[in-house]
Structure 1
Amino acid sequence: MDFGVLLGQAYQAFVQELHARLAERGHRMMGASYGYVLRSLAENALTASQLGERLGITAQGAAKVVDEMVKSGYVERRADPADKRAKLLHLSDRGRDMLDTVREFHADYERRLIARVGTDQVAVVRAVLDEIVSTTADSDAARAFRPL
């Protein structure tokens, strides 16, 4: 099997298992951007424009994702205390629960993988993936990666 195909299939298997775990906890993933939005807003409240900048997408693209997340109850819009015309985006309790579930899944997945193949093997996989990402970060393809 080609290396890229294997990477893609491994990622898809990971994502399918993540979505199943989220569904068990009452969360429905709408789009791939949700995780990036959750992590960004966990750090601090942002405007849609700031979020778009941070994720490397347009403000309109960020607003579309945020609209979906507000409708699903993961994000709240609140008035900016410094500028009543502006809206700041905050994680709702439901959004924090989803992020906690995702983080728990990531840690659990890695623990289960270590149990199957060993600590050294997982460390090698991490090192290879870090190398791929860091090498790409220096190229034009880096724009395809979000900063989180």
Structure 2
Amino acid sequence: MIDAVKRVDALLQNWRRRVVKRELSHVAINDLGLQLDLAQLDVLAAIEAPVHEFGETGGEETMVSTVAARIGIDPSRASRLIAELVDDGYAERVASQADSRRTLIRLTEKGRAVTGAVRAYRFLLMGDFLAEWSAEDLARFLPLLERFSHWSEDVEARRGKMMPQIGELARHVAKAGAAEVVVETTAAV
């Protein structure tokens, strides 16, 4: 088990570093000749909010605060980015049908063209990679990846269960002079 945990952790750390660099998004922006930066591209995706990406069931009105929450940025930053996208014709502000006091954000045809092209770009490259896999490999992989993608959702429960070991780790680090012991070693955290 420990070897599997080490291998998974190493793979995730390497994957995280590549994702943080946003290699594929940089290449997509370049190859598609887009006049956008990564933050603007993220906002366009958050406005569009494809179900598989954000996990919503649809029908939610998209406001500045919605975009900020979807991509985890400050609402003032989301507002500035949206203003840029509106000025450049990728998005537009419209009144809510449910409450005319609310201003909604939606993509223009230009914005939809960009999000569609970027998504198709990713699908082309990933599809080419996955085409090398057998149907059996895909049938095994997808449910396992879906299952694994939820591993960190119950971190608090796992953390509570592992508090004695976590406390020991904290004491070890503190003893080496690298930190103070601040972790309570009871499961009632």
Q: TM-score, normalised to structure 2's length?
A: 0.54
Q: How does 1:106-117 map to 2 (within 5 A)?
A: 106-117=122-133
Amino acid at match of 1:79: A
Separation in 1 of the partners of 2:30 and 2:50? 22
> Aligned match of 1:4 in 7, 12, 35?
12
Question: Matched residue of 2:123: which SS?
Answer: helix
CA distance 1:33–1:103, shift in 2 (3 Å): closer
Structure 2: distance between partners of 1:109 and 1:89 = 30
- Count of aligned pairs between the two proteins: 139
- Check the 8 A contact 1:75/1:95 in 2, yes or no: yes
Alpha-carbon spacing, 1:68–1:120, altered in 2? closer, same or farther (3 Å): farther
| Equivalent residues of 2:48, 2:106 under 8 A apart | no
The residue identity in structure 2 corresponding to 1:113 is: F
Cα RMSD (Å): 3.5
In 1, the alpha carbon distance for the partners of 2:37 and 2:145 equals 25
Please name the residue that 2:115 is paired with: 99
Larger Rg: 2
Cα deviation, residue 65, structure 1: 3.1
- Decide whether the 8 Å contact of 2:82 with 2:91 is kept in 1: yes
Counterpart code for 2:24: E
Name the structure 2 match of 1:16.
Answer: 23
The structure with the greater share of residues assigned to strand is: 1
Unaligned runs of 5+ in 2: 1-6, 52-57, 157-189
- 1:132 equivalent in alignment to 2:140: no
Distance 1:124 1:71, change over 3 A: farther
1:19 maps to a residue whose letter is: H
Displacement of 1:37: 1.3
Quote the residue 1:145 is aligned against.
Answer: none
Match of 2:172 in 1: none
Distance 1:59 1:119, change over 3 A: same
**Normalized against structure 1, the TM-score is what?**
0.65
- For structure 1, the 5+ residue unaligned runs are 141-148
CA displacement at 1:55 relative to structure 2: 4.5
1:86 to 102, 113, 131: 102
Corresponding residue SS for 1:94 = helix
Which one has more relative contact order, counting CA pairs under 8 Å at least 6 apart? 1
Deviates more, 1:119-128 or 1:62-71: 119-128
Identity of aligned residues (%): 19
The one-character-per-residue Cα deviations of 1:26-72 (angstroms, maximum 9, x if unpaired) are 32333263354143289554221333345555432432332233244
